[in-house]
Amino acid sequence: MADEVYLLIAAGPAAGRRYALPEGQVLRVGRNAAAEIPIPEDPRLSGFHFSVENTGVEVTVRDLDSTLGTYLSGRSVSQGPARDGDKIVAGQSVFTVHSGAAQAKRPAGSAHVGESLRTAIFEQGQPLYAILDAARDKRIKKMLEAQRASPFQSLYEGKQGEELADYAPYIVRVYPDSPLVEKLIEDGWDKSWGIFLRCPLSILEVRRHFRHFLMVKDETGEEFYFRFYDPRVLRVFLPTCTQDQRLEFFGPVERFLMEDDRGAKVLEFAPNGEVLQHSLSSMPAEVQAR
């Protein structure tokens, strides 16, 4: 199995979504917003239903003690290898495993995409931050430490912050003329490295706000890490929130910005529920509200 692997939701409430599965990564699928592939629209999925792991040699599917089971190529499995083209059935959703085509996701013309992306995220001139997940790529923490222009801090602290420094979420102030911007656009876009947000407050105040959301409880009362800084999680979580939940989560934040599931658009979420889609193939002309 090639190390460039992705999982396509072929049928079900979230049909059409596609998720890259880099070598060494594990993606959990379920209704829970903390899952790397959250599908709250599928009522027959468990909170954490199954996981897929790309070992570099094969893709392994594991059932996570789901209520209704996980089916691989028509058979119920607790754990098993998935090959290119295999189907995974869980709840009301059908997934297919694909290899060697992850590079097809990015729109053609990387220079134009970079220019369009820069325009989309900086167009209003408000203070811009990014929250980046160091666990997604070893380069992220090294990149933050190497640059001096943009202050950054881990959302973790104390002993936890020290032990998980290489895997922590980091908040960083992003300036239009910083070399960091080019890294985030060229290397991080469409890789689920993190999210952008516009907020007029200081980095310390923004960090303090988001530390409240690092841990949440599921329906059984069990605590787990909430990976809200993963665009695959946040772009599904925000539309499912009530207005009160959305206002609590946004707090001082004026806008969240992140990639769509194909890396072809910048999704911009507002506290009132408005979503703007900035197409990277035709910026700035195509701006759609939904």
Report residue 102: phi and psi, to 5°.
-60, -30
**5-103 in CATH: which number?**
2.60.200.20
Q: Are 170 and 156 spatial neighbours (Cβ–Cβ below 8 Å)?
A: no
pTM listed for this prediction: 0.65
| DSSP alpha helix (H) spans, the chain | 110-122, 138-146, 158-163, 179-183, 203-211, 231-240, 243-250
Tokens of 256: 């969240």
* Domain range list for the chain: 5-103, 106-289
Output the CA angle 32-37-39, nearest 5 degrees. Answer: 55
The tens place of each residue's pLDDT in the chain, 290 residues long, gives: 445 788 988 888 888 788 888 888 899 999 998 899 999 889 999 999 999 999 878 899 999 999 999 999 888 999 999 988 899 999 999 999 987 643 444 444 445 566 777 777 876 667 899 999 998 888 899 999 987 778 899 999 888 778 888 889 999 998 887 778 888 888 888 888 999 999 999 999 999 999 999 887 766 777 777 889 999 889 988 998 899 999 999 999 999 999 988 888 899 999 999 998 888 764 443 333 43
Output the CA angle 218-16-2, nearest 5 degrees. Answer: 90
Cα–Cα distance measured from residue 45 to residue 61, given in angstroms and rounded to the nearest whole number: 15
Q: How high is the pLDDT of residue 150?
A: 80
Q: How high is the pLDDT of residue 109?
A: 44
**Beta-bridge mates of residue 133:** 169
Q: How high is the pLDDT of residue 286?
A: 38
Cα–Cα distance measured from residue 220 to residue 120, given in angstroms and rounded to the nearest whole number: 40
Report residue 134: phi and psi, to 5°.
-65, -20
